[in-house]
């Protein structure tokens, strides 16, 4: 996610912790839930979680839980976070594992003990999905979910909108000259998901819009650690299990493989001078990144320069841990 978006979540969290809905928490409040949209088949949320209690190994354990008015589990994700740290996450249109049947849709952050057992909610929100009738119960979130994105560009060729990359075409278009915000890209950056209002994203061919595709990320497959900036969602696990968090990937060696032929530039912008190029599958030395994590500085064949982080096979964690360099 963009730095200013995460900053806003954390600041708002600190200001309104005491305003979060009471849910008989098992301990001090350790989460803040911003926007939330619960539909019949997917949901969107921005949420910040704070590690406050050691459940073993210096980690605090939680669960994200989404249920409908029948108390049917629509989505569940276990994760853990280091005590004393904070993680802000934002996801748009993440699919449920089951279809919702009744309002309200409830998103809850559940505290877990060292054995992975639920000990109580530390925060929740309720939302009446527009695809079903009103629940008649108090709801704490309503309206549209607006992604906190900053990657945008002009439409350079009018195109239909699509439900999915290369999927069904909708009877709607974006026109040449319009400026649109992009949220995600597909794995090879041939399609881009754009925000046009409402709660659903739509896809257009990447050839129809001019923007920095390397600054985007792929759609996430989990909530924890998700975001919109390059590199954030490529390396996340399918369930966010404790084992995968505890063991983690191998330490970053400082070298990485490049996905495709790419130009190396003098500065972290697509308009800066080309200083060299890197062939596909070449191994480069990674020296650092820009503040937004959308570009990395590399060394290849004795030449130093910048390439967009999308083209480097590096985990989101390792990308975050790179030093910010000039």
23: CATH: 2.60.40.2550
Residue at which a domain ends, from 215, 236, 263: 215
CA distances from 109 to 120, 228, 258, 273 (A): 9, 22, 38, 47
Question: Does 162 fall in a domain?
Answer: yes
Question: Does 232 fall in a domain?
Answer: no
Same domain as 15, residue 121:
yes
Question: Does 199 fall in a domain?
Answer: yes
159: CATH: 2.30.30.40
- Structural domain that includes position 297: 255-321
Contacts (Cβ under 8 Å, ≥6 apart) of 192 = 182, 184, 185, 186, 203, 204, 205, 206, 209, 211, 213, 216
Same domain as 165, residue 90:
no
Same domain as 101, residue 53:
yes
Per-residue tokens: 82 = 């280091």
Same domain as 119, residue 22:
yes
| pLDDT tens sequence across 179-224 | 999 999 988 889 999 988 877 789 999 999 998 888 888 999 899 9
Same domain as 36, residue 80:
yes
Same domain as 117, residue 9:
yes
Task: Report pLDDT for 325.
Answer: 84
Same domain as 63, residue 21:
yes
Question: Does 201 fall in a domain?
Answer: yes
Locus of tokens 């108390």? 71
Same domain as 176, residue 63:
no
Same domain as 93, residue 7:
yes
Same domain as 100, residue 24:
yes
Residue at which a domain ends, from 166, 194, 215: 215
Same domain as 181, residue 105:
no
Question: Does 9 fall in a domain?
Answer: yes
Task: Report pLDDT for 28.
Answer: 42
pLDDT tens for the chain, residues 1 to 326: 444 444 354 434 434 433 334 333 334 457 899 999 999 889 999 999 998 899 998 999 999 999 999 999 999 999 999 898 888 899 999 999 888 889 999 999 999 998 889 999 999 999 999 888 889 999 999 988 888 766 888 999 999 999 999 888 999 999 999 999 999 998 888 999 998 887 778 999 999 999 888 888 899 989 998 988 877 776 444 334 443 333 334 456 688 888 888 889 999 988 889 999 898 888 898 998 888 788 899 999 889 999 988 788 887 667 777 888 87
Task: Report pLDDT for 274.
Answer: 92
Residue at which a domain ends, from 57, 92, 127: 127
Question: Does 178 fall in a domain?
Answer: yes
Question: Does 85 fall in a domain?
Answer: yes
Tally of domains in the chain = 3
Where b means 16+ CB within 10 Å and e means fewer, 47-85 reads: bbbbbbbebeeebbbbbbbbbbbeeeebbebbbbbeeee
The DSSP annotation for 278-296 comes to E-TT-EEEEEEE-TTSSEE
Same domain as 8, residue 121:
yes
Question: Does 141 fall in a domain?
Answer: no
């Amino acid at each position: 996610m963009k730095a200013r978006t995460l900053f806003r979540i954390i600041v708002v969290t600190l200001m309104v912790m005491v305003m979060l809905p009471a849910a008989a928490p098992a301990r001090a409040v350790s989460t803040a839930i911003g926007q939330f949209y619960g539909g019949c088949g997917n949901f969107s949320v921005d949420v910040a979680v704070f590690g406050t209690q050691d459940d073993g190994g210096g980690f605090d354990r939680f669960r994200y839980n989404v249920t409908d008015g029948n108390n049917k589990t629509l989505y569940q994700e276990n994760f853990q976070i280091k005590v004393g740290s904070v993680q802000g996450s934002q996801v748009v249109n993440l699919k449920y594992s089951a279809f919702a049947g009744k309002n309200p849709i409830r998103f809850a952050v559940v505290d877990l003990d060292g054995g992975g057992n639920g000990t109580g909610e530390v925060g929740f929100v309720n939302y009446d999905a527009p695809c079903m009738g009103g629940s008649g119960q108090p709801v704490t979130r309503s309206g549209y979910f607006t992604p906190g994105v900053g990657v945008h560009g002009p439409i350079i060729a009018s195109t239909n909108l699509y439900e999915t990359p290369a999927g069904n075409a909708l009877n709607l278009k974006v026109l040449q000259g319009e400026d649109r915000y992009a949220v995600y890209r597909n794995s090879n950056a041939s399609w881009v998901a754009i925000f046009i209002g409402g709660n659903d994203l739509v896809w257009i061919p990447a050839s129809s819009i001019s923007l920095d595709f390397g600054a985007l990320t792929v759609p996430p497959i989990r909530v924890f650690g998700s975001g919109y900036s390059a590199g954030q969602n490529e390396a996340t696990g399918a369930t966010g299990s404790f084992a995968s968090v505890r063991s983690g990937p191998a330490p970053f060696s400082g070298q990485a493989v490049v996905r495709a032929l790419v130009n190396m530039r003098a500065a972290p912008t697509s308009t800066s001078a080309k200083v060299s190029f890197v062939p596909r599958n070449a191994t480069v030395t990674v020296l650092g990144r820009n503040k937004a994590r959308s570009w990395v500085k590399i060394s290849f064949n004795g030449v130093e320069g910048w390439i967009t982080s999308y083209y480097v096979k590096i985990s989101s964690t390792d990308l975050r841990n790179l030093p910010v360099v000039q």
